[in-house]
Chain A
Amino acid sequence: MPHNRFHTIVTTVENKPGVLARVAGLFSRRGFNIASLAVAPTDDERFSRITFTVDVESAPLEQVVKQLDKLINVVNIRELDPQSSVDRELMLVTVEVEEGHRGTILELVDDYRAHVLSENHSKMLLSLAARPARLDEFEELLRPYGIVELQRTGRVALPSLEENS
């Protein structure tokens, strides 16, 4: 579960140049750090969805959300309650594979339903799509073997279906 200062905001925006800068600008001018960010077109190419997580108290966040809603290019905006939404994130990680470690790493891959995308005699490139907290765990378990390079996409989220029924 994310710390309770973390808030996940999902916005639908017009798919136009500069829109991300407008959205990000409202956070930066208040000194709020965006902890995670994911942007991509939706099923309708005129719109993109921006999912971001910010580490901030609720009151100032409410003000920023109202300001975001005022942006002409923002079509809608909602804060997702962690209890009634699902979120996922993708991680790519290259890990050192020393003599005798290959088997234990492959067991971890199996346990976490990760995938081996590429490998050679000394390294493996793994992918894992899961809840962000699960990515954190996987990352910690790999760390002792030696992480060469790691990239996460930032979380995407949607309301879970119970809420909509």
Chain B
Amino acid sequence: MTTDTPAPGDTINGGVALVRALELEGVDVVFGLPGGATLPIYDPILDSSMRHILVRHEQGAGHMAQGYAHATGRPGVALVTSGPGATNIVTPLCDAHIDSVPMVCITGQVPYAAIGTDAFQECDTTGITMAVTKHNFLVTDAADIPRIVHEAFHIATTGRPGPVLIDIPKDIVDQNNPRSAMQWYEAGDSDMELPGYRPAGAGDPEAVRAAAELIRDAVRPVLYVGGGILKARAAEVLREFAELTGIPVVTTLMARGAFPDSHELCLGMPGMHGNYTAVTALQQADLLVSLGARFDDRVTGRLDGFAPDAKIVHVDIDEAEIGKVRTVDVGVRGDAKLVLEALIECTREMGIESQAERGAWRSTLSGWQERYPMFYEQSQPGDLLKPQYVIEQLRDSNPADTIVASGVGQHQMYASQYWKFDYPYTWINSGGLGTMGFSIPAAIGAKVGMPDRRVWAIDGDGCFQMTAQELVTATVAKIPIKVALLNNGYLGMVRQWQELFYDERFSGVELGADVPNYVKWSEAMGCAAIRVDSPEEVAPAIAKANEINDRPVVVEFRTDPQENVFPMVPSGRTNSDVVVHPAQRGE
């Protein structure tokens, strides 16, 4: 609560109104960096109950808001200034848009009368962000602030979640400007003016029934589970449905943890770097029940050869996703949780005993799992460290509810493949946009939202150099995240493609493992830092890192630059051409 809580009808300025409106939405933390256009907003923040976390780059504020939202389910909030402040947060907005992450971004803007004059630090923020937000607003009247803030949170968190931006000209929040005066009111749902916004609720019962019939008759069905299950808070009901029907589950990169990896029905991650069984199960299924997934190219491989014999049930809250990529047999537009509940009811009515016999399918799947487990070659004494080994050690020496935030590249795939995700909301990554540098700020945001949980960022050396400055934020704001830096001295995933598809002609991928000196750099940012070169040092270093909780810790693991991610479905090939680890081939 602000010290002077305004009463309805009180004349206050737009800056105070904005801060109060954010408090009323339940915002407890704002990630931001001030500038000229947001000065009048930063003044009332001093009197607010909201915690402000001062970032070192606006991109950090955006990814922190995303990490917070991923971990807590509540919308993350970022506050940045006009011009470069706004352009610096475009990447996180785009990231949140494609991964459906609820966040609200507030940007300062030059005074209303100066808009369009190329004023200092002016840019067309709403124009620039139109394509990377679920919606954006340009506030032109201080009286609209409470309503627009309420609308923004409503839009960000309902339907298919996403980022919403509010651009606020300086004059209407500036207490010294008469244009900022407004009569305070608390905006509720009845104040919203959104005649064109109708988020989906429960699915059409007839479509649900048709889906249940396809499920009943399928002999080789798979539940193809995407990030929408997590957005719908539907992990428990998914488990109930899977156990009721005995249908195996794959969890996409965005859905890791939505179904427990240790469950007997869990096949793990499908896609370009999915495990053999998950990839092949999708490919040979006679029915895919897609739940909050969008048939991304990284999952389908070459589309015309994807799951050729499968009928498709596609459940999605977004009508535009249904049939976008793959023609469906039954489409159900609705909230995944409500649709799953209806499917469970329908299945029970039809009688579980009426389900097709799937014993043969299950034994085929377990045969594949036995024959093609995840595999890498352990390093011999004196050899370079294997990145997969590092992930396994991290996994085994941390609690099962540890939150893992990843960057983008090989380390992201190793983390998704070798961690065991048994709880929802423990895996945070940039799936759709593939934003390098995501992990450190996302981990910070997650730790802020879930301070009692252990949070590890799993990062690569290329990613680390993009956003490491936020470790300063973490140190100063006392956010003790842990960073596992897998340093192989390369932009490893690009290097892997050049090795496999460009005749080992390595172009522009060598970063060098020794410069910068990551230990010194981390220490300079106030972190504890440990360097690990050999396998026997791994476990002790992780144990030591886990004991340090008064500041961030960076553990630099020097890993083998020649190690590649397998299995792999080569780009442009179908999932039937999945390539397993070289040691598993040729039998």
CB pair B130 A22 closer than 8 Å: yes
Is B127's beta carbon under 8 Å from chain A? yes
Q: How far is the CA of A151 from the CA of B195 in the complex (A)?
A: 34
Q: Which of A14, A21, A69, A72 contacts B319 (CB 8 A)?
A: A69
Given known A63-B324, A67-B320, contact A13–B130 (CB-CB < 8 A)? no
Residues of A within 8 A of B130 (CB): 18, 21-22, 25
Q: Which of A14, A25, A66 contacts B320 (CB 8 A)?
A: A66
Q: How far is the CA of A13 from the CA of B155 in the complex (A)?
A: 17
Q: How far is the CA of A60 from the CA of B131 in the complex (A)?
A: 18
Q: How far is the CA of A46 from the CA of B131 in the complex (A)?
A: 24
Q: How far is the CA of A29 from the CA of B319 in the complex (A)?
A: 20
Is B126's beta carbon under 8 Å from chain A? yes
CB pair B131 A29 closer than 8 Å: yes
Residues of B within 8 A of A63 (CB): 320, 324
Q: How far is the CA of A51 from the CA of B269 in the complex (A)?
A: 45
Query: Which parts of B84-140 form the interface with A (CB within 8 Å)?
Result: 126-127, 130-131, 134-135, 138
Measured CB to CB, the nearest residue on chain B to A19 is B196
Measured CB to CB, the nearest residue on chain A to B320 is A66
Is A70's beta carbon under 8 Å from chain B? yes
Q: How far is the CA of A75 from the CA of B131 in the complex (A)?
A: 19
CB pair A17 B135 closer than 8 Å: no
Q: Which of B127, B138, B155, B320 contacts A72 (CB 8 A)?
A: B155
Q: How far is the CA of A46 from the CA of B193 in the complex (A)?
A: 11
Is B583's beta carbon under 8 Å from chain A? no
Residues of A within 8 A of B135 (CB): 72
CB pair B131 A25 closer than 8 Å: yes
Q: How far is the CA of A63 from the CA of B325 in the complex (A)?
A: 10
Residues of B within 8 A of A22 (CB): 130
Q: How far is the CA of A18 from the CA of B155 in the complex (A)?
A: 18
Query: Which parts of A28-49 form the interface with B (CB within 8 Å)?
Result: 29, 46
Interface residues on A, range: 20 to 34
Query: Which parts of B190-241 form the interface with A (CB within 8 Å)?
Result: 194-197
Q: Give the Cβ gap from B549 to chain A, nearest Cβ, in Å.
A: 43
Q: Give the Cβ gap from B509 to chain A, nearest Cβ, in Å.
A: 31
Q: Which of B131, B138, B318, B324 contacts A18 (CB 8 A)?
A: B138
CB pair B196 A66 closer than 8 Å: no
Query: Which parts of A48-80 form the interface with B (CB within 8 Å)?
Result: 63, 66-67, 69-76
Q: How far is the CA of A85 from the CA of B320 in the complex (A)?
A: 26
Cβ-Cβ contact count across A and B, 8 Å cutoff: 38
Q: How far is the CA of A21 from the CA of B126 in the complex (A)?
A: 11
Residues of A within 8 A of B196 (CB): 13-14, 71-76
Q: How far is the CA of A25 from the CA of B126 in the complex (A)?
A: 13
Residues of B within 8 A of A76 (CB): 196
CB pair A18 B126 closer than 8 Å: yes
Q: Give the Cβ gap from A42 to chain B, nearest Cβ, in Å.
A: 12
Q: Give the Cβ gap from A54 to chain B, nearest Cβ, in Å.
A: 17
Query: Which parts of B315-332 form the interface with A (CB within 8 Å)?
Result: 318-320, 324
CB pair B155 A17 closer than 8 Å: no
CB pair B127 A21 closer than 8 Å: yes
Q: Give the Cβ gap from A65 to chain B, nearest Cβ, in Å.
A: 9
Residues of A within 8 A of B134 (CB): 72
Q: Give the Cβ gap from A130 to chain B, nearest Cβ, in Å.
A: 32
Q: How far is the CA of A74 from the CA of B194 in the complex (A)?
A: 9
Residues of A within 8 A of B320 (CB): 63, 66-67, 69-70
Residues of B within 8 A of A71 (CB): 196
Q: Give the Cβ gap from A145 to chain B, nearest Cβ, in Å.
A: 43
Given known A25-B130, A66-B320, contact A17–B138 (CB-CB < 8 A)? yes
Residues of A within 8 A of B138 (CB): 17-18
Given known A66-B320, A67-B320, contact A75–B126 (CB-CB < 8 A)? no
Residues of A within 8 A of B126 (CB): 18
Q: How far is the CA of A25 from the CA of B194 in the complex (A)?
A: 20
Interface positions of A (Cβ within 8 A of B): 13-14, 17-18, 21-22, 25, 29, 46, 63, 66-67, 69-76
Closest 8 pairs (CB-CB, A-B): A66-B320, A75-B196, A72-B135, A74-B196, A72-B197, A75-B195, A67-B320, A66-B319
- For the complex with contacts A13-B196, A75-B195, 6 further pairs of A-B residues with Cβ separation under 8 Å are A18-B130, A29-B131, A66-B320, A67-B320, A72-B197, A75-B196
